[in-house]
Structure 1
Amino acid sequence: MSAQATAIEKLQQEVTALKEEKQHMQAVLDETLKATNHLIFNQGVLEALLYNAPDGIIVIDSNGQIETFNKAAEALFNYREIDLKHQPLNSANLFQLPEGYQGDVSQYLMEHRNVTAEQDIWGLTSEQRNIPLRISVSRLDNIQPLLFEVDDQYRDELSANSSPLLCFITDISTELQQLNNIKIQSRVMQQMALKYRSLQEKSDRANQLKSEFLANMSHELRTPMQAILGFSDRGISKADKCDRETLLKYFNNINKSGHRLLTLLNDLLDLSKLEAGKVELYCEKNDLLDTVNTSLQELKVLIDEKLLDISVEPPQVPTQACFDANKILQVVRNILSNAIKFTPKQGKITISFAAASIASQHGENEPPSAAVAVTIKDTGVGIPSNELETIFDKFTQSTKTRTGGGGTGLGLAISKEILLAHNGNITAASTENQGSQFTFTLPYELTETVHPEKATTA
Structure 2
Amino acid sequence: MSLVALNSLRTKFLAAMLLTTLVAVMAAVVAMITYDLNLYSESWISDMDTQAELLGQTAAPALEFDDRTLASENLNLLRLRPQIRSAAIYTARGVQFASYRANTAGTDAPKLPGPDGVNVDGSSLAIFKPILKNGEILGKVYIRADYSLYDRMLGYTGIAAVAACVAMLIAYLISTMLRNVVIRPILSINEVAREVEQKRDYSLRAIKSSEDEVGHLADSFNNMLAEIERRANDNRQATQALAQEVAERKRSEDEVVQLNTQLEERVAKRTQQLEAINQELTIARNDADNANHAKSEFLSRMSHELRTPLNAILGFGDILVSDKIASSPQQKSEFTQQILKAGRHLLALINEILDLAHVESGKLTLSIETVHVADVLAECQAIMEPLGHQSGIRLMFPEDHGLNALADHMRVKQVMLNLLSNAIKYNRQGGAVVVDVASLGQDRLRISVQDTGIGLQPTQVEGLFQAFNRLGQENGAVVGTGIGLVLTKRLVELMNGRIGVSSTPGIGTIFWVELPAAAPTASAVVESSYQVSTSVQQQETVVPTLLYIEDNPANLRLIQEILGFRTDLRLLSAPDGKLGLDLAFAHLPNVVLLDINLPGMNGFEIQKTLQADPRTAQIPVIALTANAMQREVERGLSAGFFRYLTKPINLEEFAAAIEAALDANPKHLPGPKNRSSAT
Determine if the TM-score, normalized by the shorter chain, exceeds 0.5.
no
Larger radius of gyration: 1
TM superposition score normalised by structure 1: 0.33
State the TM-score, normalized to the length of structure 2. Answer: 0.23
